[in-house]
Chains A and B, each alone.
Chain A
Amino acid sequence: MWKLHISISILVLFGFANKTQAQESDYAIKLDSTIHKKWVPTGLRLGVDISGPIYSYIQSNKSSYEGSIDIDFNRFFGVIEAGKGEFNSSVDLTSYSSSGMFYKIGIDANLTPKDPNLNVVFFGLRYATSTFNEKLKGVIPDSGWGVQNIDMIQNNSKSSWIEMNLGMKARIWKSFFAGYSLRLKFLKHHMYNQENFSSYFIPSYGLTENINNWSFTYYLQYRFEWKKKPIKWRGE
């Protein structure tokens, strides 16, 4: 399955690579010795994750809304992502909810820096943090003290984690891009503001009991391009 996935990604990229003969595309120019400002940003990309709302529709107890900004520095991108996540569950006598904001900052390294349409296959790292509020209701079965009702609120818990991202961003029309990323997340730190109960779900991270989680995001993006990007031309 992974081979298929990688093969399709490569096919998509080579599909875009049809302008290799020219020295300039609509979005890039050939980097030569006269251009010294290759680290100067050439565009800002704004995006929204559409996989979150789709998941929310499929799994009504979860919701996630996320946006992103990235800006290019040579073959790297500085990235900021932010959003809101929620998890609600009510089964029999037990109900739980978690909701909060999350923020991520990091860099993506462009693995295809010679693409004249500025399509990107990237590997990225993120430092992510979430602040969230939780509610837990339920019963502890009789164990000598009678049935005990639990009804607790826990606000302002904080978690941070590291993400490794692998994905692509492909130009689909003019300045519009579509892209996805597969995210592997490693829980780094979890801190309770009130230690009333053990946190169960961290917005954007997932289940607290897992030391690592993975997820998938699918972005639609618009790139504001104020100049053509100087790149090393393919085949040179």
Chain B
Amino acid sequence: MKIKNAPFILLTAIATLSFACNNQPTCIPEHSNLLEIAFVDKLGASKEILLVSADAASANESYSIVQDSIVSKLSIPLSSLDSSIFLTINSDTAIIDITLSYKALSILIAPECGIETKFDFIKLEDTNFNNVIVINQTLNKDIKTNVEITH
């Protein structure tokens, strides 16, 4: 009598198993790797400046961001394998050195999608220019400015 119930139990188990579903990943990266630097005037309005050069260096590498350009913003990619970046911004009126530290956390979006990096805890470690402030510590597609330089 008791063993007769086994098929019912099995059937119920299979019915429950049929609810199982796998969410397919969307593979859309959520985070940005671009540090957004904005140049503003004393009133906080966007300001265009002439950059002779702007260079970025990490512990092991360096590269030129821009040369001889008029800009009001800079978008600088951060390295996933480092925790600090050294910037040299050479404008027509000043040479600005900035050292920023940050935390890079690798995130597996999904095995099918690969890895992205979340950059957070951006902190101004050193600068020779008085008017540099970090206004957003996280790199995010929705955040337009991380660092503001009043020039």
Residues of A within 8 A of B (CB): 1, 4-5, 8-9, 11-12, 15-16, 18, 51, 89-96, 117, 136, 138-141, 143-146, 148, 150, 152, 168, 170-173, 178-180, 182, 195-198, 200, 216, 218
Residue pair B15, A4 in contact (C-beta under 8 Å): yes
**Interface presence of B16 (CB below 8 A):** yes
Residue pair A172, B16 in contact (C-beta under 8 Å): no
Residue pair A172, B9 in contact (C-beta under 8 Å): yes
Residue pair A180, B12 in contact (C-beta under 8 Å): yes
Residue pair B16, A182 in contact (C-beta under 8 Å): yes
A146 contact set on B, CB distance < 8 A: 61
Asked if A150 meets B9 with Cβ closer than 8 Å, knowing A144-B63, A197-B105, A216-B17, the reply is no
Residue pair B16, A89 in contact (C-beta under 8 Å): no
Bound: A140/B82 CA distance, A: 13
Residue pair A178, B79 in contact (C-beta under 8 Å): no
Residue pair B108, A148 in contact (C-beta under 8 Å): no
Q: B1-35: contact bitstring with A at CB < 8 Å (1 yes, 0 no)? A: 11111101111110111111000000000000100
Residue pair A145, B115 in contact (C-beta under 8 Å): no
Please provide the 7 A-B residue pairs with the shortest distance between their CB atoms, ordered closest to farther: A144-B77, A89-B111, A197-B106, A138-B115, A198-B107, A145-B79, A143-B77
The majority secondary structure among interface residues of chain B is mixed
Residue pair A170, B115 in contact (C-beta under 8 Å): no
Other contacts beyond A95-B111, A145-B61, A198-B107: 10, CB < 8 A: A1-B15, A1-B18, A1-B19, A8-B12, A139-B115, A141-B114, A150-B80, A150-B115, A172-B3, A178-B6
Residue pair A12, B80 in contact (C-beta under 8 Å): no
Residue pair A8, B17 in contact (C-beta under 8 Å): no
**Interface presence of B135 (CB below 8 A):** no
Residue among B3, B58, B76, B106 with max Cβ neighbours from chain A (10 Å): B106
B17 contact set on A, CB distance < 8 A: 51, 216
Bound: A48/B91 CA distance, A: 70
Bound: A144/B4 CA distance, A: 68
**Interface presence of B117 (CB below 8 A):** yes
Q: B47-85: contact bitstring with A at CB < 8 Å (1 yes, 0 no)? A: 000000000101001010000000000001101110000
A51 contact set on B, CB distance < 8 A: 13, 17
A145 contact set on B, CB distance < 8 A: 58, 61, 63, 77, 79-81
Residue pair B108, A200 in contact (C-beta under 8 Å): yes
Residue pair A143, B13 in contact (C-beta under 8 Å): no
Residue pair A170, B5 in contact (C-beta under 8 Å): yes
Residue pair A173, B106 in contact (C-beta under 8 Å): no
Which chain B residue lies CB-closest to A90?
Answer: B111
With both chains docked as a complex, state the minimum distance between the C-beta of B61 and any C-beta of chain A, in angstroms. Answer: 6
Which chain A residue lies CB-closest to B111?
Answer: A89
Bound: A141/B112 CA distance, A: 15
Bound: A198/B108 CA distance, A: 7
